Structure 1
Amino acid sequence: MTKAVHAAQHVTIEPKNADRKAYLVGGGIGSLAVAAFMIRDGGVPGRNITIYEAMPVLGGSLDGGGGAAEGYTLRGGRMLTTDNYECTWGLFKSIASLASPGKTVFEETIEFNERNVSHAKARLVDRNGAKVDVTSMGFSMQDRIELVRLSEAGEDALGASRITDWLSPPFFETKFWYMWSTTFAFQPWHSAVEFKRYLHRFMLEFSRIETLAGVKRTVYNQFDSLVRPLASWLVEQGVNVLTGCTVTDFGLKTEKGLTAINVIHYAMGGESETIAVCDDDLVFFQNGSMTDASSFGSMTSAPKRLTKNDSQGWALWEKLADGRPEFGNPAAFNTSIAESYWESFTVTLNSSVFFDKMEVFTGNKAGTGGLVTFKDSAWLMSVVLAHQPHFANQPAGVQVFWGYALHPDRIGDFVPKSMSDCTGKDILQELCGHLNFDLDAVASAICIPCRMPYITSMFMPRALGDRPPPVPKSSKNFAFVSQFVEIPEDVVFTVEYSVRAAQMAVYQLLNIEREVPPILHHDRSIKVKLDALIKAFK
């Protein structure tokens, strides 16, 4: 067994934290990371930590479900790199893999990507079903000047502006925009601040965006490869997990200008319960959710059009922030579904025909390519074929791929309705139309569409203060851990953002005298800047 795995399974209990309890509201990757950092670095006994999760399983937005018979489901996948993600890989160097005995999740991931090197050969496809030459980004001089101006503007100057406030319409027809926007799911009306942060945080990817060579993948989907090993380790440490449990409200008290949570109200199994939070106890709250009100369709039905009223996923943050601006402004993120939603789909196949045809068309074996984006499609649809099997329990002979579209409200090119109104069968017809494939290629397919009304809500234009820091100045015993907190320089819609927020919150509330891994500033490297400049002028 490696030293890293060995160390992860022997945790020293700090006497000062031996009796301290922690309550984690939400079971996403942020909460799981909180629990791990409290145990590993804070010496809090696992038995003193309780996770409350409304869903039947942990993982939050890093999900994976279904099966070969009924069709697998993935709402989405987050882009991973090993050139960034300092906190994420720092954590997973301590967590044992479930698939590779004797290795950590980090070691397993590195070795997997050494065997399966990413180098997309069909990043963009045109309206005729032909691969687009992406050696040039397609910039005009005006595009370059405007992009530099945006990337160098201060966040005070950018404020709550949108990307379209800084870039002219022709920019959004460049090959760079089609590749960058679909890699990260940006829309022209999204936050200029967030777009600028991405340009800096992922400047290494700017010069290789056409091949996605910097993208790294886990052995299986991220639920099986990240969530399950971490959750398994936490359970081994004695962490209490309550699923099917919805926290409905917090009781608050304020003393000397500091606010503390002293009561947690929750519902479980039809019963209402309360937990008294003692003075030394801590509460970590996953405020907001990018996958709130998600709904799945089927081969014969479109997903239901749900809103936050159907799931109440934002209600607790709204209660907490009401009259307390220091706790953020959820309305900045959850009041315009039209600007924050898109739709994904997961396809399960019992025949290799589609994968075989895609290998011939793209020139990539499954797991070595990247997103294949149909740049002229009305839906702006993309698909990606991962290494198989993509699920830990996937039977031999079954293949799974995932896709999504940024404009699901538009009428399709091959089906006469919007993607939002499409069944899984309709989506397969649209996909085959763009690829010039006969429908026989997906004759065995089960396509499960998924509507996500808030999937890019964290990209919405925001003002300073709309996102609270992980530990607000007025907080005595609680922290926010989510995609809706403020972490200077880092970027949302990443696993790293949630894990970094968790580590910052734990270290601050437990007074851990240890540095949170700093953000690696590749954007300050002369070589990286030069590579980006050369790419911009191709």
Structure 2
Amino acid sequence: MNNSAYPARHPVADRAQEEAIAPGHFYLVGGGIASLAAAAFLIRDADVPGCLITIFEALDKPGGSLDGAGSPQEGYVVRGGRMLESKYLCTYDLFDSIPTLDGRSSVTKEIFDWNETIRTSSKARLVRNGQRENAPPYGLAETHLLTLGRLSLEPEALLGDSRISDHFKPDFFETNFWIMWCTTFAFQPWHSAVEFRRYLLRFTHMTPGFNQLHGIMRTVYNQYDSMVRPLRKWLDERGVRFRANTRVIDLRYDESGALNRVAAIVCEQDNRRIEVPVGEADKVIVTLGSMTAGSSLGGTNRVAVPDHQDSSGAWALWKTIAAGRAEFGHPSVFADHVDESKWLSFTATLHDPTLFRLIRDLTGNVPGEGGLITFAQSNWLASIVLPHQPHFIGQPQDVEVFWGYGLFVDRPGNFVGKPMIECTGREIMIELLGHLHIHAEASRILDDAICIPCLMPFITSQFLRRKRGDRPKVVPEGWANLAFVGQFCELPNDVVFTIEYSVRSAQTAVYTLLGLNRPVPALYKGQHDPRVVYGAASALHSH
């Protein structure tokens, strides 16, 4: 293991200070990776007994957006997977303390070892006319390069709530650079220019190999099996209490002191309303919003019907507690523009090896090596990824699973002639086979495939245009025992839609709430390294 690749745990700088923390209960709202990470940091870094930590989750299992489920008979489902790379310092700091399910190593060591074994190196990042494009040129004009440079230097305050499209002419959005960028990260032209700028800076070091996906890292299995399950097991072993099927609908406050504090948590469980009192020494950590709220599944012969009810209650809770409280942010900025934040993913389960063989022959990559394949001529701007198999723990050897998604779900397909949002899993497979130019074997593949579409109305809501204050601080001003975590709190300079953002918010919340005298791992800033900047600039100009 290369210990320089990710940070080791920081030694306790002031143990006496930590031991002086008054005992109290910790209530975590939401069972996603942010809450799970917060619980782990409380135990590992603040010596909080697990039995004093309670996690409320509206669903029946933890993991939030890092999910994975299914069977060979009914089909597997992953709503999506988050990209990993070597500079996610908070994530690797956390998982360096979490053993894998088999106990052979830490999760962090397993990830780094695995990516030494199978390095992502795409030979077919784009496919056009059924032909692969190896290391596609970026196709950027001088005007595009100048605008990218200006955005990288311009302060966020000057960009305000502008769109990406406010800064580029239409031809920029036809370049290979944009097609690869927007499908790798799921950006749309109408998304926030500030978020686009943050991504440009955060991933400067990945620019030279971006057209072959160099530097992108994967877990051995899907992220639920490889990350959530080991973390949940570790928390269970330490006595953390999970209250599943419990929806938090409101918070009660005590505003009589110098600092406001949460005095009670209002829940719904089994159609009963419950108030959980929050004592003087207790603390509350709330995950705001949800990217995968309102997700709906279709089937091979069934369309994914839009779900207009958010059963998790994540958005409703944020709107309730933020009413009249500017320090809690403005949830409507992110929740009330579904037409700008929705897209559709799909997971295919195959018992016949034909499709994997044909894609392997087309791309020149074995599953797990190539990463995202985008069909550049697709009206849906559809992409697929063939992960290393098995993708699920317990997946049979004769079963293969792959995942894909489309960004423009309201446009008619090139082959099925219907909007993606109106397609069954079978119709999505027909469209995919059309772009792959697979004809003779199409019937055999279609008859075998189980394809489950998943419609997600809020999946890129965190990219929507915003201004300062729309996302609250991790620890809001004027509050003694409350912190916010997840994708919708503000962490200066870091990028949303990543596991790292959720974990960093959790680490920041725990250390700040408890006044721990230890630093959160510093944000990697490759844009301040002249060698990194030179490499990125050279790559953009040479392509």
TM-score by length of 2: 0.95
C-alpha separation between the residues in 2 aligned to 1:418 and 1:467?
Answer: 33
Map of 1:97 onto structure 2: 100
- The one-letter amino acid paired with 2:360 is E
Q: Which residue of 2 aligns with 1:68?
A: 72
Alignment of 1:300-319 (within 5 A): 300-308=301-309, 312-319=313-320
Structure-2 residue corresponding to 1:379: 380
**Residues 147 and 167 in structure 1, CA contact (< 8 A), matched pair in contact too:** no
Task: Check the 8 A contact 2:249/2:313 in 1, yes or no.
Answer: no
State yes or no: 1:463 paired with 2:467.
Answer: yes
Letter of the structure 2 residue corresponding to residue 514 of structure 1: R
Determine if contact 2:293/2:310 at 8 Å carries over to the other structure. Answer: no
Q: Which residue is equivalent to 2:243?
A: 242
Which AA in structure 2 matches 1:188?
P
Is 1:289 matched with 2:286? no
Q: Which letter does structure 1 place at the counterpart of 2:40?
A: A
Query: C-alpha separation between the residues in 2 aligned to 1:249 and 1:79?
Result: 33
Distance in 2, Cα, partners of 1:511 & 1:162: 38
Whether 1:336 aligns to 2:337 is yes
Match of 2:114 in 1: 112
Partner SS state of residue 518, structure 2: coil
Root-mean-square deviation (Å)? 1.9
Deviation, structure 1 residue 97: 0.5
2:177 is paired with a residue of what secondary structure? helix
Distance 2:95 2:134 in 1: 38
1:336, 1:452 → 2: CA distance?
Answer: 13
1:304-339 CA distances to partner (integer Å, 9 max, x unpaired)? 112356653301110111000111000110111110
Counterpart of 1:93 in structure 2: which amino acid? D
2:523 to 490, 495, 519: 519
Residue 477 (1) aligns with residue 478 (2):
no
Q: Does 1:88 align with 2:69?
A: no
* Worse-matched range after superposition: 307-316 or 484-493: 307-316
Q: Which amino acid aligns with 1:98?
A: L
Deviates more, 1:380-389 or 1:522-531: 522-531
- The SS at the match of 2:70 is strand
Task: Give CA deviations for 1:226-263 in whole Å, capped at 9, x if unaligned.
Answer: 10000100010100011111111111121345221101
Match of 1:536? 540
Taking the aligned partners of 2:448 and 2:21, their CA distance within structure 1 comes to 55
Amino acid at match of 1:292: A
SS at match of 1:61: coil
Equivalent residues in 2 for 1:272-287, closer than 5 Å: 272-287=273-288
After TM superposition, give the deviation of residue 19 of structure 1 in Å: 3.0
Cα shift readout 1:501-532 (whole Å, capped 9, x = no counterpart): 00001001111100000011111111111111
Residues 18-417 of structure 1 mapped to structure 2, 5 A cutoff: 19-82=23-86, 84-99=87-102, 101-126=103-128, 128-132=129-133, 134-256=135-257, 258-308=259-309, 312-417=313-418
Secondary structure of the equivalent of 2:370?
Answer: coil
Q: Is the 8 A contact 2:289 2:314 kept in 1?
A: yes
Q: Deviations over 1:139-190 (max 9, x none)?
A: 1111111111112111010110010111111110110000111000000000
Residues 98 and 234, structure 2, Cα contact 8 Å, conserved in 1: yes
Instruction: Give 1:107's aligned amino acid.
Output: K
Contact 1:18 1:44 in 2 (8 A): no
Are residues 57 and 309 of structure 1, via their aligned partners in 2, closer, same or farther at CA, if it must alter by over 3 Å?
A: closer
Runs (4+) of structure 1 exceeding 6 A deviation are: none
Work out whether residues 165 and 189 of structure 2, in 8 Å CA contact, stay in contact via their aligned partners in 1.
yes
Taking the aligned partners of 2:142 and 2:478, their CA distance within structure 1 comes to 48
Q: CA separation in 1, counterparts of 2:471 and 2:258?
A: 20
Equivalent pair of 2:58/2:312 in contact (CA under 8 Å): no
Give the conservation status (yes or no) of the 8 Å contact 1:354–1:442. no
Contact 2:341 2:457 (C-alpha < 8 Å) held by counterparts:
yes
CA distance in 2, matches of 1:115, 1:205: 19
**In structure 2, distance between residues paired with 1:271 and 1:309:** 18
On the 8 A contact 1:17/1:43 being kept in 2, the answer is: no
Distance 2:269 2:121 in 1: 47
Q: Match of 1:495?
A: 499
Partner-residue secondary structure (3-state), 2:260: strand
Cα distance between partner residues in 2 of 1:15 and 1:169: 59
Identify which of 498, 504, 508 aligns with 2:508. Answer: 504
Does the CA-based 8 Å contact 2:426-2:446 persist in structure 1? no
Distance change (3 Å), C-alpha of 1:444 and 1:18 = farther
* 1:16 CA drift (Å): 3.8
Q: 1:337 to 1:320 in 2, by over 3 A?
A: same
Displacement after TM superposition at 1:370 (Å): 1.2
Distance 1:220 1:310 in 2: 28
SS at match of 1:258: coil
Work out the percentage of aligned pairs sharing the same amino acid: 47
The SS at the match of 2:448 is coil
Counterpart of 2:316, as a letter, is A
Check conservation: 1:50, 1:241, Cα contact below 8 A: yes
Give, in whole Å, the separation in 2 of the partners of 1:485 and 1:59: 19
* Counterparts of 1:121 and 1:225, CA distance in 2: 26
Letter matched to residue 536 of structure 1: L
- Output the amino acid matched with 2:200: L
Query: CA 1:104–1:133 in structure 2 vs 1: closer, same or farther (change >3 Å)?
Result: closer
In structure 2, the gaps of 5 or more residues are none
Q: Number of paired residues?
A: 530
Deviation at 1:102, TM superposition (A): 2.7
Distance 2:256 2:378 in 1: 57
Deviations 1:369-400 (CA, angstroms, capped at 9, x unpaired): 01100011000000000000000121121110
What SS does the corresponding residue of 2:251 show, helix, strand or coil?
Answer: strand
Q: Is the 8 A contact 2:59 2:312 kept in 1?
A: no
CA drift at 1:496 = 0.3
Residues 134 and 175, structure 1, Cα contact 8 Å, conserved in 2:
no
Structure 1 Cα separation of the partners of residues 96 and 80 of structure 2: 24
Q: Is the contact made by 1:308 and 1:314 (CA closer than 8 Å) also made in structure 2?
A: no
Change (3 A) 1:465 1:257: farther
Q: Does the Cα contact within 8 Å between 1:118 and 1:216 map onto a contact in 2?
A: yes
Secondary structure class of the residue paired with 1:486: coil
**Matched residue of 2:212: which SS?**
coil
1:90-145 deviations in whole A, cap 9, x for unaligned?
0000000014x33000111111111111100000111x112235442101111111
